[in-house]
Amino acid sequence: MKQDIPFTYNFQIIDEFLLQNVLKPLSLNPQKQLITSFAELESLIVEETTDIRLISNLQNTLELILNAQLENFPGNIFWDCDFMVSSILRQAVAMGDDAVAFLKTFTNKMVTLSELFGINQEIRFCYVHDFIYGFDWARWVQKDPQNRANVEPFSLIFLDYLLAKAQELIHRISLDQVTNYQMCDNGFRNPFPFSRKPEDEYLLLTYLASAGFIPVAAWNWHSQPVWNKPFQEIRQQLALQLNIQPQRR
């Protein structure tokens, strides 16, 4: 008779996997250089739930998401996951008996997003920073704050919006109808007028973080996402102040 395999978890496995693939998993936290380890995040998770089945499935979710991000955004620089993990866990716990089904749905959407926006498809973005740190979300909320201000950055509603946006963008690229998403000389698409070469991206985002202009402080388990600041304008102004060169097309 087939026996059920007991659920187990060990988030240190994720740390080992990440270190095998990323030289330095950097944090945007102005107070530290490297991200919170997943072993540390495990300690926070078990304070929120004792459901071993849920925790085990959450570990699997994170492994699949990180693997997809590494495959599709190999040049990504900053890897903070604290708030994303906290958000996933809160949403899963709120689903009660449907928690594991929620995790599967969430995982599928996140993996698909990486595949659509990353280097292996037509969009070819270089980083996951705009998503993980909430720039995409803040821009989306600002278009309809009355209906969107209470929608979390890692909610299924917002993920569905990004999935639809990706399909629309791929269609426009196929028709050569994109103006802000032209291919750059480095082989990536950049919707911004300033360079996002690794050294420029690192400089700009660390300055933004130190000044408190990151919509989602993804390094903070208890982050309070902020949408009602002119993040887009601040980012472009700071790029000029830092003398970051225009993007070469």
- Give phi and psi for 26, each to the nearest 5: -75, 150
Q: Residue 247: inside a domain, yes or no?
A: no
Angle, CA 84 vertex, CA 215 and CA 110 arms, to 5°: 105
Distance in angstroms between the alpha carbons of the first and the last residue of the chain: 62
- Amino acid at the residue 49: T
Find the Cα–Cα–Cα–Cα dihedral 98, 103, 105, 110, rounded to 10°: 160
Q: Residue 5: inside a domain, yes or no?
A: no
Q: Residue 4: inside a domain, yes or no?
A: no
The answer to whether 91 and 48 have CB atoms below 8 angstroms apart is no
Q: Residue 95: inside a domain, yes or no?
A: yes
- In terms of residue numbers, what domain contains 34? 12-241
What local confidence, expressed as pLDDT, does residue 123 receive?
94
Query: What is the count of structural domains for the chain?
Result: 1
What local confidence, expressed as pLDDT, does residue 6 receive?
65
pLDDT in tens, the chain (249 residues): 344 556 899 999 999 999 999 989 999 999 999 999 999 999 999 999 999 999 999 999 999 999 999 999 999 999 999 999 999 999 999 999 999 999 999 999 999 999 999 999 999 999 999 999 999 999 999 999 999 999 999 999 999 999 999 999 999 988 887 777 777 777 889 989 899 999 999 999 999 999 999 999 999 999 999 999 999 999 999 999 999 988 775
**Residues 133, 100: Cα–Cα separation, whole Å:** 25
Mapping DSSP onto H, E and C, the string for the chain reads: CCCCCCCCCCCHHHHHHHHHHCCCCECCCCCCCECCCHHHHHHHHHHHCCCHHHHHHHHHHHHHHHHHHHHHCCCCCECCCHHHHHHHHHHHHHCHHHHHHHHHHHHHHHHHHHHHHCCCCCCCCCCCHHHHCCHHHHHHHHHCHHHHCCCCCCCHHHHHHHHHHHHHHHHHHHCCCCCCCCECCCCCECCCCECCCHHHHHHHHHHHHHCCCCCCCCCCCCCCCCCCCCHHHHHHHHHHHCCCCECCC
What local confidence, expressed as pLDDT, does residue 176 receive?
82
Q: Residue 218: inside a domain, yes or no?
A: yes
What local confidence, expressed as pLDDT, does residue 183 receive?
78
What local confidence, expressed as pLDDT, does residue 44 receive?
98
Q: Residue 6: inside a domain, yes or no?
A: no
